[in-house]
Homo-oligomer: A and B are copies of this chain.
Amino acid sequence: MTVKPLGDRVVIKNCEAEETTKSGLILTSAAKEKPQMAIVIAVGPGGNVDGKEITMNVKAGEKVIYSKYAGTEVKVDGEELIIVRQSDILAVVE
């Protein structure tokens, strides 16, 4: 079962706690939004979104920092996925 995001939506999956510790990245909670690290699973096609032309700049497989509260959680085939707008992704981590 595949989840194909529409427009400027991106499907991401939280990195597990173990992996986060290994990589040395610890996320502190800011005043208004809890950022989190995730892996990009699928990227919408962008293009005409609500009358605006949107270019997609993230790729499946990339590790990203995103704003947690903006997303919608879904559980597909046992995997917990999150669907966010690309504008809720703050940075790519390499």
Contacts and interface: CB of A to CB of B under 8 A. Distances in A.
Interface of A: 1-7, 9, 11, 23-33, 35, 44-45, 47-55, 57-58, 65, 67, 69, 71-78, 80, 83, 86-87, 89-94
Given A51-B54, A57-B6, A57-B7, A24 B76 contact: yes
B58 A54 contact: no
Given A50-B52, A65-B74, A91 B25 contact: no
B32 A69 contact: yes
Please give the count of copies of this chain that the complex contains: 7
A44 to B, nearest CB: 8
B94 A25 contact: no
